C-alpha cells in the first residue's frame, strides 16, 4: 500500500481534554500535509479546525460516554455542523445497549443522523464493554438508523480496536456501511491488519508516525 492510499484511511485525531488551540492548528497542518481522510476533534475546536483545515473536519458527539440525552446529542450535532464539521462521530448510549433497549439506542442514533442533515455519521459502539451478540445488535441498530459507519472505540474506554471486532462488525453490516477502527492504533502493522480485517477508516493520533513507518519500510 502506498502512502497516499494509507493516508486516505486515517482520521487524524486529537481528542485530549488538554488540547490547546496551538495543538489543533498543528493537527490541521499535519492533516493538510499528509492528506488524511479527515481531522477529528472535540466540538469546541471545530470552528478553529475548519478555518485552518483543507481536509474534512470530523466532530465527536456525546463523547466519550454516550450517556447524554438524545436532545443534547442533537444540539451538539447541529452546532458542530454549523461550525463546519462534515462528519460526526457519535457515541452510542451504552447503558441502553447493556439493558437491551435497542429501540431506544436506534432512535438516539436516528435523531443524530437527522440532525447531521446528510453529513456522514459514525456510531461508536465501544466494543470493550459489549459481548459479541451486543456488538452485532449495536451494528444493526446503527444500520437501521441510517448511520454511515460503525466504529469500534472512543480510545477512552477499557480497550481499543481489535482484528476480531472489525471482522465481526464487517460481517454484520456487510458492504453497506463503513467500519472505523479506533483506539490503540500506533504502528503500521496494526493499521494494515485492521484494514485487511475490513476497516475502511482508522482513527489514530499516530497517523504521522504510521506514514513515516511506511516510508521507512519502502526505503522512500
Spatial neighbors of 19 by CB under 8 A, at least 6 apart, are 41, 42, 45
Name the one residue in this structure whose C-alpha cell is 460526526. Answer: 88
Residue the block writes with cell 481531522: 39
C-alpha cell at 149: 459507519
Residue numbers annotated as active site = 89, 151, 180
Using an 8 Å Cβ cutoff, are 11 and 36 in contact? yes
- What distance in Å separates the CA atoms of residue 68 and residue 74, rounded to the nearest whole number? 10
Give every CB contact of residue 5 below 8 A, 6+ residues apart in sequence: none
Spatial distance between the Cα atoms of 183 and 155, rounded to a whole number of angstroms: 4
Whole-angstrom Cα distance, residue 154 to residue 96?
Answer: 17
Q: What are the grid coordinates assigned to 192, written together?
A: 494494515
Amino acid at each position: 500500500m502506498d502512502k497516499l492510499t494509507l493516508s486516505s484511511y486515517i482520521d487524524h485525531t486529537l481528542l485530549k481534554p488538554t488540547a490547546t488551540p496551538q495543538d489543533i492548528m498543528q493537527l490541521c497542518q499535519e492533516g493538510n500535509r499528509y492528506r488524511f481522510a479527515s481531522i477529528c476533534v472535540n466540538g469546541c475546536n471545530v470552528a478553529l479546525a475548519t478555518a485552518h483545515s483543507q481536509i474534512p473536519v470530523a466532530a465527536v458527539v456525546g463523547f466519550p460516554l454516550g450517556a447524554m440525552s438524545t436532545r443534547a446529542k442533537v444540539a451538539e450535532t447541529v452546532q458542530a455542523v454549523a461550525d463546519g464539521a462534515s462528519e460526526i462521530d457519535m457515541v452510542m448510549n451504552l447503558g441502553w445497549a447493556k439493558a437491551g433497549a435497542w429501540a431506544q439506542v436506534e432512535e438516539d442514533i436516528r435523531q443524530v443522523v437527522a440532525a447531521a442533515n446528510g453529513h456522514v455519521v459514525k456510531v461508536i459502539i465501544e466494543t470493550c464493554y459489549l459481548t459479541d451478540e451486543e456488538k452485532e445488535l449495536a451494528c444493526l441498530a446503527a444500520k437501521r438508523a441510517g448511520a454511515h459507519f460503525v466504529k469500534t472505540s472512543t480510545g477512552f474506554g477499557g480497550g481499543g480496536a481489535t482484528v476480531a471486532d472489525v471482522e465481526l462488525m464487517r460481517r454484520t453490516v456487510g458492504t453497506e456501511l463503513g467500519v472505523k477502527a479506533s483506539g490503540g492504533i500506533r504502528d503500521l502493522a496494526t493499521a494494515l491488519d485492521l484494514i485487511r480485517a475490513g476497516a475502511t477508516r482508522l482513527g489514530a493520533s499516530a497517523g504521522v508516525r504510521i506514514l513515516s513507518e511506511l516510508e521507512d519500510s519502502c526505503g522512500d
